[in-house]
């Protein structure tokens, strides 16, 4: 069953991209005690993700924080090294990259898409959510092939 507003996030291991290299973190530990704007993309360096999704959150970081967001995080079914390179090339210092290399978080939240037709295998659906102390406060899942409800602008409008 797909995760919903009011649900606790699944407590699986993610890899946080840090200055000192990849750092394993449990989702429950990472999201505890803070309000996080989390967005997911099907893949780092993919067209919509790189041209619109990530740049929108980079551009709107200060506005999100002014509306009570403590941290902005991005997750994708990519390894931590790809996520790190993507953050650097996108100048995304205000966004914490959470690699879900094995897709465990996407699967546990039941937010998986099949990108096999594009040679991508199983990936995360595109979405945004607000997570407050590990609990989903807001969830905006995109229909396949769209980019409307998971943007930083849309999320800001709902805060």
Which of these is catalytic: 40, 41, 49, 87? 49
Catalytic residue at 74? no
Please state the φ and ψ torsions of residue 95, each to the nearest 5 degrees.
Answer: -120, 125
Alpha helices in the chain (DSSP H): 27-31, 47-48, 54-59, 61-66, 80-89, 104-108, 152-158
- The closest alpha carbon to 96, from 155, 146, 34, belongs to 34
Distance of CA 5 to CAs 13, 41, 133, 140, 144, Å?
21, 19, 13, 10, 20
Please state the φ and ψ torsions of residue 139, each to the nearest 5 degrees.
Answer: -140, 125
Residues annotated catalytic, as ranges: 49
């Amino acid at each position: 069953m797909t995760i919903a507003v009011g649900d606790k996030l699944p407590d699986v291991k993610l890899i946080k991209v840090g200055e000192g290299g990849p750092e394993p973190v449990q989702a429950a530990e990472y999201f505890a005690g803070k309000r996080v704007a989390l967005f997911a993309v099907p893949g780092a360096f993919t067209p919509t993700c790189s041209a619109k999704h990530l740049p929108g959150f980079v551009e709107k970081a200060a506005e999100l924080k002014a509306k009570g967001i403590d941290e902005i995080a991005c997750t994708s079914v990519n390894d931590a090294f790809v996520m790190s390179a993507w953050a650097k090339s996108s100048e995304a210092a205000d966004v914490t990259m959470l690699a879900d290399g094995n897709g465990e978080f996407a699967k546990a939240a039941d937010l998986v898409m099949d990108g096999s037709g594009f040679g991508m295998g199983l990936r995360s659906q595109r979405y945004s959510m607000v997570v407050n102390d590990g609990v989903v406060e807001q969830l905006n899942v995109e229909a396949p092939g769209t980019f409307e409800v998971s943007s930083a602008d849309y999320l800001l409008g709902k805060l």
